[in-house]
Structure 1
Amino acid sequence: MNPSDPFNPNGNVLIVGGGLVGASLAIALDAAGCPVTLVEAAAPRVDAQPSYDERNLALARATVNGLTAIGVWPQVAAQATPIRHIHVSRAGEFGTARLDAARHGVDALGWTLPARELGAGLLRGLDACTRLVRLAPASLVGLEKYSDGWRARIKTPQGEQFMDAALLVGADGTESFVRAQLGIGVDTHDYHQTLFVSTVTPERDPANRAWERFSDEGPIAMLPLAERRCGLVLTVPSEMAEEVIGLDDAGFIALAQRRFGWRLGRLHRPGKRHPYTIRRVAAQQLMGTRAVLVGNAAQTVHPIGAQGFNLGLRDALTLAELIAGAADPGTPALVERYVARRAPDREGTMAMSHDLVRFACMPQPWLAPFRSLALLAYDRVPPLQHVLARRGMGFRGEPPRAVLERLP
């Protein structure tokens, strides 16, 4: 297509960003028979060899239901580890909240999975698509607005291409180019924290149990993995980041042991440490004319509770549900419906992660009894625990039907 050709969106949905959320949306739309073009910055690639140090994802139950609905979960389930128990506490305080899958009538509250495995499963899903047009490696470099869609200028190794679309979807991450081109601003909050992701082998078997522990220095989490290993997520004040980066293995294990405690006995064999600066970046709106944002382009949340990809997948599957069967995927009514559907889940999840890290990690001693009483209430009052469990499993607001199909 040349820029002088007549504009012809033909119901096409253009997804910019081929990460986990963008790929999931593309697979869901292709299965619904919708014409889709996916622009991916990186060439498709699968790392064949597993790594002890790889990044691990905590997937909520709703997320696994959604991945099952689009045919991806059966390809990766063998590499996943179920989370059947969750233990939440605050260092030096008496309150504890415990969630148990059996108590809520499910076999697991969620699962952990190496990010590489999920990426490989999504690539296989993309390869099986029949309508999807994939441009990779490619990047969006320009947009022109028409009355009934967008003309995108896309840079590829073969030269520039032009693509017409009735709906533009920004799935291109926290520093979204699409969001900037739409003129959508962001609200940013710097937590002044740095997150270190690593892997450890504890003395005791984690036995499908996940831990979230808070302190004045920030939260620390342990996620169960295969072969008695754990994924470690350690948060420190940003002013400590360089010091932690400089620690040797023994020093890092000593820090993790002090922060987490001895519930799993002595920790051994720390993997590589990968630091991430923590910021909340929330788009001030989710839509433009014939355009929407999903995933981290819409909101990048504090990693506490591992809600990032889980929230983004619900964005994608809600949008796919609304587009399926629509003659024109970019009408104002459809776009506005997407925003309305996502508002309770999005706002509730962002508020939960933001307020929890502030309340649970504030150093004021007078807060201690209130925090402990809140955790005890969640542990002992069944209606509160039910709400906590359902939200933790990803069921909030009006979720997409795909995540409910396997809910007992």
Structure 2
Amino acid sequence: MTATHDVVIIGGGLVGASLAIALEGSGLDVAMVEAAPATAMPAVFDERNLSFADATVNALTALGVMQRLRAPTGAIVRIHVSRRGDFGRVLLEAKDHGREAFGQVVVARDFGEALESRLSDVTGLERHRGTRFTGFAPDADGCRVLELAGEGPLRLRARLVVAADGAASGVRDALGIATTRHDYDQVLTVARLTAARAPDGTAYERLGDDGPTALLPRGDRAWGLVHGVAAAEAQAVQALDDAGFLARVQDAFGWRLGRLRSVGPRSAYPAVAVRAAATVAARAVLVGNAAQSIHPVGAQGFNLGLRDALILAELLVSCAREGGDPGGDALLQAHGARRREDRGRTLDFSHGLARLTSNPGHGASLLRGAGLVALAALPGLQAAIAGGAMGYRGDVPAACRGGGPR
């Protein structure tokens, strides 16, 4: 027997799990396929520091996830942007834009535990854990037929398949959707760091030729570090002892926080952007990193992916209420249309910022310096940047405005 579901979500990470929660009570028959077994967390829930935009905080609160975080979050009340070797800097204050904070800093592991706690209460969700998507069988009766592998072979039928399986999406490949890939030739090291000055709500983004060095205010009185290095130097940097690594970060970041005192376990990730040529196919839609993965400068990746999922949830809930086809062309076209502006503007902004800030040379330095001065001086330009940073760009999901997907 092959079970039939209205929606099958492939991937139980940040975006896939959030979508499953958003669909609770919709009346849809939903299943989620998760590679991680029930006894383990997905690898994405590690010690990385996630910067949740204000819109994301609103949405995850509406979904009942933020309330389940066990560790305190760190509020971002101001953003300080500068570039090593250039004149000018930008200081954005949330209060100047009518907000208490631009967003919150959350440790990925804590977020994963909160998502799992919330998922355990979702009724009507069928979870296939320790199971991987391996391909499609021929379609049947208006459904996609998914072939899965876990403890044994399994097939599921889905009126709609949601690919939330990351930047190396197997579903995207099986659908034949092409991608463009840009390697920034950088490796980003993340860690927990302490300094002479404790966090005061300021998120620092210090840009350099080899990538950004960001320090984010965590809720545990430490800083969340993201330190970019040229790919050719990454192995040597990873081999440094803690004292040597702190000295390197101190040189890249400067002394705004006084002496950097300690650093926790480090993890490294290559900075590679992957952009799908299309986000929908017959009875299938891509969300999150399966649709696009971006450079972390500006901290937009998960926030963008969550908005993919929340717009999809809105459309599916409306479709279920009207008795429509959750995998029909009308819904898929509506999702693509509603996500087009936000996706396009966010991807272009992230890529442009990553390219511009890492471009060495005196001429580029003058242009960057002038740009920072202009941004610091023009309230209208600041407001546009701040709005995007808080997740209010394009067609904003209702949950991001403090409402629900219904």
With structure 2 as the length reference, what TM-score do the two structures score?
A: 0.94
**How big is the shift at 1:225?**
1.1
Partner of 1:179: 172
- Structure 1 letter corresponding to 2:331: L
CA gap 1:31/1:112 in 2 versus in 1, 3 angstroms: farther
Q: 1:292 aligns with which of 285, 289, 303?
A: 285
Following the alignment from structure 2 to structure 1, what is the Cα–Cα distance between the partners of residues 220 and 169?
38
Following the alignment from structure 2 to structure 1, what is the Cα–Cα distance between the partners of residues 254 and 15?
35
CA gap 1:406/1:169 in 2 versus in 1, 3 angstroms: closer
Partner of 2:129: 136
Q: Are 1:44 and 1:123, in contact at CA under 8 Å, matched by a contact in 2?
A: no
Q: Are 1:31 and 1:70, in contact at CA under 8 Å, matched by a contact in 2?
A: no
Q: Are 1:196 and 1:273, in contact at CA under 8 Å, matched by a contact in 2?
A: yes
Partner of 1:335: 332
Q: Deviations over 1:90-112 (max 9, x none)?
A: 11222111111111111110100
Q: Deviations over 1:361-393 (max 9, x none)?
A: 210211222212211222221111110100001
Partner of 1:262: 255
Partner of 2:386: 389
CA gap 1:17/1:260 in 2 versus in 1, 3 angstroms: same
**How big is the shift at 1:406?**
6.6
**How big is the shift at 1:46?**
6.8
**How big is the shift at 1:239?**
0.7
Q: Are 1:13 and 1:167, in contact at CA under 8 Å, matched by a contact in 2?
A: yes
Is 1:151 the counterpart of 2:145? The answer is: yes
Partner of 1:15: 9
Q: 2:361 aligns with which of 360, 364, 376?
A: 364
Per mean C-alpha deviation after superposition, the further-off stretch among 274-283 and 135-144 is: 135-144
CA gap 1:137/1:54 in 2 versus in 1, 3 angstroms: same
Is 1:212 the counterpart of 2:209? The answer is: no
- Structure 1 letter corresponding to 2:38: P
Partner of 2:182: 189
Following the alignment from structure 1 to structure 2, what is the Cα–Cα distance between the partners of residues 368 and 358?
13
Q: Deviations over 1:80-128 (max 9, x none)?
A: 1111011000112221111111111111101001111111111111111
Following the alignment from structure 2 to structure 1, what is the Cα–Cα distance between the partners of residues 377 and 62?
34
Q: Deviations over 1:45-68 (max 9, x none)?
A: 578xxx9x9222111111111111
Partner of 1:120: 113
Following the alignment from structure 1 to structure 2, what is the Cα–Cα distance between the partners of residues 45 and 86?
38
Within-5 A mapping of 1:9-408: 9=4, 12-45=6-39, 54-76=47-69, 79-144=72-137, 145-146=139-140, 148-157=142-151, 159-326=152-319, 327-405=324-402
Q: Deviations over 1:269-323 (max 9, x none)?
A: 1112211111111111101101000011111101111111111100100100011
SS in 1 for 2:23: helix
Per mean C-alpha deviation after superposition, the further-off stretch among 92-101 and 18-27 is: 92-101
With structure 1 as the length reference, what TM-score do the two structures score?
A: 0.93
Following the alignment from structure 2 to structure 1, what is the Cα–Cα distance between the partners of residues 223 and 17?
27
What is the number of residues matched between the two proteins? 396
SS in 2 for 1:243: helix
Runs (5+) with no aligned partner, structure 2: none
Displaced runs of 4+ in structure 1, greater than 6 A?
Answer: none
Per mean C-alpha deviation after superposition, the further-off stretch among 168-177 and 68-77 is: 68-77
Q: Are 1:206 and 1:224, in contact at CA under 8 Å, matched by a contact in 2?
A: yes
What is the RMSD computed on CA atoms of the aligned residues? 1.8
Identity %, equivalent residues: 45
Following the alignment from structure 2 to structure 1, what is the Cα–Cα distance between the partners of residues 164 and 69?
23
Per mean C-alpha deviation after superposition, the further-off stretch among 229-238 and 136-145 is: 136-145
Following the alignment from structure 1 to structure 2, what is the Cα–Cα distance between the partners of residues 234 and 113?
18
Q: Are 1:153 and 1:163, in contact at CA under 8 Å, matched by a contact in 2?
A: yes
- Structure 1 letter corresponding to 2:245: F
Following the alignment from structure 2 to structure 1, what is the Cα–Cα distance between the partners of residues 25 and 360?
50
Q: Are 1:295 and 1:309, in contact at CA under 8 Å, matched by a contact in 2?
A: yes
Following the alignment from structure 1 to structure 2, what is the Cα–Cα distance between the partners of residues 380 and 76?
38
